Amino acid sequence: MHITAIAGGVGGARFVRGLRHHLDTTPGLADSTITVVANTGDDITLFGLRVCPDVDTLLYTLGDGVHEGQGWGRADESHRVQAELAAYGAVPQWFALGDLDIATHVVRSQWLGQGVSLSEVTAHLAARWGLPERRIELLPMTDVPVETHVVVDDGEGSERAIHFQEWWVRHQAAIDARRFVVAGLDRATPAPGVLDAIRRADVVLLPPSNPVVSIGIVLGVPGVRDALRGTNAPVVGVSPLISGRPVRGHADACLAAIGVEQTAQAVAGLYEDFLDGWLVDPADAATTLRRARVEVFDGPLLMSDVEASARIAAHALRLAETGRA
C-alpha cells in the first residue's frame, strides 16, 4: 500500500510517525510506503540561512531527533550560536535557532546556493535521518520559494504585512490577522513527485495539521487541489479541532482570519470538493457532511504519544478502506 499525507509541522509529523508505527506493527502492512508532501509556506530566511520549519519538524520527528516536549527542534539542543548572533546585534532574536538545528539550515543554504533544488536538498537531509529506510519519502510541496505573510492592523488605522513566523512565533497569533498573503504561491509549481504521489496513492491522508496555513497552503500550489479531486485514492482527513479549539497552535486565529467557523464541520468544508472521510473527536460527534463520511474516534483525538497517534492513523486508514462516500 502507498499512502500520501499532506502535512504541516508538529501535527503532521506526529501523525505520520504514528501512521508509520501502525504500519510497522500491523501484519501485512510493514512494507507500505508513505510519501509526505510538506508545507513550505512558512519557510523563512534568518541570518541569511534558509529555514524550512515544517520540513525540519518532519525530518526530526520521523528521524527520532525531535525535542519531544516542544514538538519541534532538536533533542539535546543548545543555543550558543544564536546567543553569539545576538551579541553581534543580529536580528531577529524571536525565532529560536538551536545549534544542532542551525547546522541543518547552514547545509541547506549551502546546497541551495549551489543550485540544488529544495526537493533534492530535502532528500539529502532525509537520508541522514534514515527516512528512506523507514519507507518514508519527504517532498516539499514546491521547489519555488513561497512565504506566507500576514496582513495586520498597524495600530494607526492602516495595514502592514509581517512574515507568518513573526505573527506566529513572536506575537503568538495574538494580533488579529486580516488576511494571509502567500508570496510566490501563484507561480509555484508542485515539486517533482508531488502530483504523482497524490494520483498514484492507495490512500491520501490529511493529518490534523493547520487547515489554513499548513494544508491550506499546500492546496494553493497550482495543480495540487486538482490532483486531489482527480485521484482514485480515497482522501481522509483528521480534524485538527476539538470542540472548536486547536489541540496546539493557532488554527482558531487562522480560521477567524479567513472567515471560517471554528468547528470540525467547517474545517471539513474547506476540503469538501475532494474529501471522502473525516475523523472527528467525540466532542464533535454531531458533525455532518454532505459528501464525506464522518466517523467519531474512540477517545479524545489527541496525539499524546506514538501509540495514540498510531491509533488515530489506523482509524483514518480503516475509514479510507470503506471507500469513497
Specify the residue, 87 or 174, whose C-beta has the smaller distance to a second copy. Answer: 87
Specify the residue, 29 or 112, whose C-beta has the smaller distance to a second copy. Answer: 112
Helix (H) or strand (E) holding 256: helix 251-257
User: Amino acid identity, residue 38?
Assistant: A
User: Amino acid identity, residue 215?
Assistant: I
- CA-to-CA dists, residue 224 to 39, 99, 109, angstroms: 12, 35, 26
Please give the residues from 198 up to 237 whose contact with a second copy meets the rule CB under 8 A: none
Please give the residues from 42 up to 61 whose contact with a second copy meets the rule CB under 8 A: 47-49
Compute and round to an integer the Cα radius of gyration of the chain.
19
8 Å CB contact between 309 and 315: no
Q: Does 115 bind a second copy (CB under 8 A)?
A: no
Closest C-alpha to 202, from 32, 14, 13: 32
Each residue 118-157 as x (binds a second copy by CB under 8 A) or -, in order, gives ------xx--x-----------------------------
Q: Does 104 bind a second copy (CB under 8 A)?
A: yes
Query: Taking contact as CB under 8 A, which single stretch among the options 100-108, 228-236, 238-246, 269-277 is the one that binds a second copy?
Result: 100-108
Q: How far is the CB of 109 from a second copy (least distance, A)?
A: 5
Length of the chain: 325
CA 107 to CA 114: how far, in whole Å?
A: 11
Q: Does 283 bind a second copy (CB under 8 A)?
A: no
8 Å CB contact between 284 and 264: yes
Q: How far is the CB of 45 from a second copy (least distance, A)?
A: 9
Please give the residues from 54 up to 93 whose contact with a second copy meets the rule CB under 8 A: 78, 80-85, 87-90
Query: Taking contact as CB under 8 A, which single stretch among the options 98-106, 155-163, 230-238, 310-318 is the one that binds a second copy?
Result: 98-106
Q: Does 181 bind a second copy (CB under 8 A)?
A: no
Specify the residue, 49 or 302, whose C-beta has the smaller distance to a second copy. Answer: 49
Q: How many residues bind a second copy (CB under 8 A)?
A: 27
Specify the residue, 84 or 273, whose C-beta has the smaller distance to a second copy. Answer: 84
Closest C-alpha to 210, from 168, 240, 247: 240
Give, as one character, the DSSP assignment of residue 283: G
Specify the residue, 102 or 219, whose C-beta has the smaller distance to a second copy. Answer: 102
Instruction: Round to the nearest angstrom and report the end-to-end CA distance of the chain.
Output: 20
Q: Does 103 bind a second copy (CB under 8 A)?
A: yes
- Whether residue 140 is preceded by a cis peptide bond, meaning omega within 30 degrees of 0, is no
Q: Does 110 bind a second copy (CB under 8 A)?
A: yes
Specify the residue, 88 or 156, whose C-beta has the smaller distance to a second copy. Answer: 88
Give, as one character, the DSSP assignment of residue 63: T
Specify the residue, 46 or 221, whose C-beta has the smaller distance to a second copy. Answer: 46
CA 167 to CA 214: how far, in whole Å?
A: 15
CA 261 to CA 153: how far, in whole Å?
A: 22
**Secondary-structure percent of the chain, ordered helix, strand, coil, rounded to 5:** 35, 20, 45
Specify the residue, 32 or 82, whose C-beta has the smaller distance to a second copy. Answer: 82
Q: How far is the CB of 140 from a second copy (least distance, A)?
A: 17
Give, as one character, the DSSP assignment of residue 56: H
**Interacting residues with a second copy (CB under 8 A):** 47-49, 78, 80-85, 87-90, 99-100, 102-104, 106-107, 109-110, 113, 124-125, 128
